[in-house]
Structure 1
Amino acid sequence: MADKVIAKDKVDAVEELTEKFRESTATMLTEYRGLTVPQLAALRRSLGDGASYRVSKNTLAKLAANNAGVSGLDEYFTGPTALTFVSGDPVDAAKALRDFAKENEALVIKGGVMDGRAIDAAEIAKIADLDSREVLLAKLAGAMKGNMSKAAALFVAPASKVARAAAALRDKKEAADA
């Protein structure tokens, strides 16, 4: 009877992980060997609301990834593995993992999957170096605003040249009349 309960727990865990793999915009795998419980709690807090950090058995995580149609992660399922499931912007989660790994060398970023494609630790580091979606949108808006201001000045320039020329002619005529 106890074996059936254990098996049911494993089936439930695989189903939950499968759903997480399907719903996530990105999943990043880390090795957490040597981190204390308070350090893991701090890591979870640093990830914010857009990501969750879950420790899992490799066999269950590998089975869940395969069930979700995610491939290319098998090489990363070695040693103690934790999964970071990202529901929002992967840049923020990658930055949080990178920054935490700098402070705690026990955390090792192994790799992950994003947009259905397996990525390695170097690619996660590149993602972490990107600006967040909000920052990129703000930069784009600023660039567009600057270009619109330049265009408005360009359109107004001929009219202002004519106005200045007319004012100069009027001043010249008034000087000649005086």
Structure 2
Amino acid sequence: MSEAAIAKKQELVEIATAKLQESAAVVVVDYLGLTVLEVTELRKQLRDAGIEIKVLKNSVISRAAVAAGLEGMDDMFKGPTAVAFSTEEVVAPAKIIAEFAKTASKLEIKGGVIEGKVASKEEVEALATLPNRDGLLSMLLSVLQAPVRNVALAIKAVSEQKGEAA
């Protein structure tokens, strides 16, 4: 192999290592059997959510995982592999890919990385069932509003009772 080819591969490994280290969540999938239209639609959905998906050689991503300190990912890098990187959202890549896999049965989640920790297929699928950041914030808001709402209802009930008594 020429020195230029080796340098190019080393550069790809460095880029993939940086992406693995910077990402809040990484999802590794097997895309074999998807049509071009399905792959295009998946890429579009991920891109719209600010998630980057790359098809990388298994040797490149495997070396990048080791360089990033993510041991135990070797089983994920067998066969055709695509990797979705999300720097901001933890739940979004798993949720989008899991939803897409319901209609595209050939798409299979292999595993991933959640906030710097290697995650199994089951852990990534469990993450997909959680609400996204906006959903969690709205839940928190409703929990914070509940006591205020209850006090307001109690005050209203007391004022209505006093109004009927007069």
- Whether the TM-score (by the shorter chain) exceeds 0.5 is yes
Residue in structure 2 matched with residue 95 of structure 1 by the alignment: 95
Deviations 1:64-97 (CA, angstroms, capped at 9, x unpaired): 1111122221121111111111122222211211
Deviations 1:141-170 (CA, angstroms, capped at 9, x unpaired): 12211211223455x48x859x939x95xx
Does the alignment pair 1:151 with 2:151? yes
Deviations 1:84-128 (CA, angstroms, capped at 9, x unpaired): 111222222112111221212221110011122221122212111
Cα distance in 2 for partners of 1:49, 1:102 equals 19
- 11 and 37 in structure 1: CA distance in 2 versus 1, 3 angstrom threshold: farther
SS in 1 for 2:88: coil
Does the alignment pair 1:20 with 2:19? yes
SS in 1 for 2:2: helix
Higher percent of residues as helix: 1
Residue in structure 1 matched with residue 2 of structure 2 by the alignment: 3
Cα distance in 2 for partners of 1:32, 1:16 equals 22
Does the alignment pair 1:38 with 2:27? no
Residue in structure 2 matched with residue 111 of structure 1 by the alignment: 111
Counterpart of 2:78, as a letter, is T
Cα distance in 2 for partners of 1:68, 1:119 equals 15
Q: TM-score, normalised by structure 2?
A: 0.87
Unpaired segments of 5 or more residues in structure 1? 172-178
Residue in structure 2 matched with residue 164 of structure 1 by the alignment: 162
Give the fraction of aligned pairs with identical amino acids, expressed as a percent.
34
Cα distance in 1 for partners of 2:43, 2:84 equals 9
Bigger Cα Rg: 1
Cα distance in 2 for partners of 1:15, 1:151 equals 57
Runs of 4+ with deviation above 6 angstroms: none
Cα distance in 2 for partners of 1:102, 1:149 equals 39
Higher deviation after alignment, 142-151 or 8-17: 142-151
Map 1:50-65; keep pairs closer than 5 Å: 50-65=50-65
Counterpart of 1:103, as a letter, is T
Cα distance, 1:134 vs. partner?
0.7
SS in 1 for 2:60: helix
